Amino acid sequence: MKKITTLILTIMALLPLMIQASARDAGGEGVVVISDTHLLAPSLVTAGSAIDNADSGEIKMMALSDDIMTAITDSIIALRPALVFITGDLTHNGERASHQRMAQHLQRLTQHGITALVIPGNHDVNNPYATAFDGSDTHSTPTVTRDEFAHIYRDYGYGKTSQRDPASLSYCCEPLDGIVVIGIDSNRDEENHLTSRGDSADTYHNGGRVKPETLQWVIEHATAARQQGKRVIALMHHHLVPHFDKEEKFLSSYIVEDNQHIAQQLMQAGVRLIFTGHLHVTDAARCVNTTGTDSLVEVATGSAITYPFAMRVASLHRDTGIMDIDTRWLDATPSCPDLRQQGRQRVINATPTIASMMSTRVWNKMQGRMSQLKAMLAMGGGETHLPQDAQQATGLVLRHLNEVLARTMLAVVEGNEQDKNPDDIIQQGKQGIRSMIQEVAPDQADNLWEFFNNDVYPRLDPLARSLLEDRNAVGTPHESRTDDLHLTVTL
């Protein structure tokens, strides 16, 4: 027991050093960015099967969220930055108690002279699924309204020193002389319904949009700041810039509606950098204006309670407007010395669930064409072994693609996918598809593979390259690759 106690005390003493040295040591003003903390207040949790079952089904380290936030706060205090940004999904499901607990963590930063600014995420406000865990049971707990959110975070972006958008929880402030921060509310929580407030059913919106009147408000404040010679940093929860080609098609709820138009408007107003979250990936992407003369960089930060537990640590040089952005990771907490190893294994363990979701979605889309597919294969002769339902389709995918899906997931959440041997991942994926074809239609496998390789895959290749080689706008004059983990942006 004495050895264990000594180990824990040693870890606690060294914890701030796990995020390395002070953010100010590199010169300039220090800025730290975290996202998707999904904090669940300890007061809402009594140990038992309810929290254990909920936590075991998550990639997020949900049960450790407060422990992780405590460790992150300790690390930020050691870094001594001037500013801290949290880009939404502050809480597990918008519980009032979780917001109050988050404010306590932020108060610790304030006590050390660090200014923290937050914006809401889709989980944070008017959430009908705010839940407390009590032994083997769960029960509803109060969420917050928009006014309550602004009141709780009155010292973190929503106070008297900020200008507020009347139509949303967007705000504008100048935490450092010459540096204007605009928090953009991209959520649709006003459209949620809660039976606890008398609605007939609970409904919840995950997707994002920026109201036209809010966009106009943001443009006016950004333009005014630039006209005064000030630099602008934007914060938003949902993505604005696609982080892989066709993100708006395949993951529409993770990117704001009409994103291209909004991005063009922000660039015209002089916004060069936006920090986001939501998708739980640590990634950076760049878009350019229609003439190719200007660009906007979006830096998305992964969930603070999900592997690889990333945080952005930047140095801002106010005289030049240059921000050097680095990425660091939390390795451990006092109660979980192998945090990264456990978190990584959770990502791997989640592969079957992701495969099930994918195969079920494809199965549902293919159901109307299954008879045609069966008829086509019958014409070719020989035996066939098509799945009969979504469960069999999932089994087929897992038998042949489980390992490559896990490799892909790890590459995407870690960032800088091009360093993870993307050609090998792509070839392994293609080989998995070929073996699937062999299982489904062994007598026609060669012809079907030739069709896939020559006619189908060329249309998939740009998407695969975009995702696994970290390229955007593949094949266009504006194709670009942005370092996800270490980059320099001029505001």
Strand-pair partners of 140: 131
Q: Which residue has the tokens 């300039």?
A: 28
**DSSP 3-state assignment of 457?**
helix
Tens digit of pLDDT at every position of the chain (491 positions): 333 333 333 333 334 334 434 444 446 899 999 999 999 999 999 999 999 999 998 999 999 999 999 999 999 999 999 999 999 999 999 999 999 999 999 999 999 999 999 999 999 999 999 999 999 999 999 999 999 999 999 999 999 999 999 999 999 999 999 999 999 999 999 999 999 999 999 999 999 999 999 999 999 999 999 999 999 999 999 999 999 999 999 899 999 999 999 999 999 999 999 999 999 999 999 999 988 889 999 999 999 999 999 999 999 999 999 999 999 999 999 999 999 999 999 999 998 888 888 788 777 877 767 777 777 777 777 788 888 888 988 999 999 999 999 999 999 999 999 999 999 999 999 999 999 999 999 989 998 899 999 999 998 888 898 999 999 888 888 888 999 999 999 99
**H-run or E-run covering 5:** helix 2-14
Nearest-angstrom CA–CA distance, 184 and 339: 32
User: What pLDDT, on the 0 to 100 scale, is given for residue 27?
Assistant: 60
Nearest-angstrom CA–CA distance, 1 and 221: 58
User: What pLDDT, on the 0 to 100 scale, is given for residue 379?
Assistant: 74
User: What pLDDT, on the 0 to 100 scale, is given for residue 12?
Assistant: 36
Q: Which residues contact 386 (CB under 8 A, 6 or more apart)?
A: 370, 373, 374, 377, 440
The topology (CATH level 3) of 2-346 is Purple Acid Phosphatase; chain A, domain 2 (3.60.21)
Q: Which residue has the tokens 């690889």?
A: 308
User: What pLDDT, on the 0 to 100 scale, is given for residue 387?
Assistant: 86
**DSSP 3-state assignment of 294?**
coil
Q: Cβ(401)–Cβ(355) under 8 Å?
A: yes
Listing DSSP states for 118-185 in one string gives EE--TTSSS-TT-EEEETTEEEE-----HHHHHHHTTTTTSSTTSEE-TTSS-EEEEEETTEEEEEE-
Q: Is the pTM of this model over 0.85?
A: yes
Q: Where are the chain's structural domains?
A: 2-346, 355-472
**DSSP 3-state assignment of 226?**
helix
395 class by beta-carbon count within 10 Å (0-12 exposed, 13-18 middle, 19+ buried): middle
User: What pLDDT, on the 0 to 100 scale, is given for residue 187?
Assistant: 98
User: What pLDDT, on the 0 to 100 scale, is given for residue 201?
Assistant: 96
Nearest-angstrom CA–CA distance, 418 and 379: 42
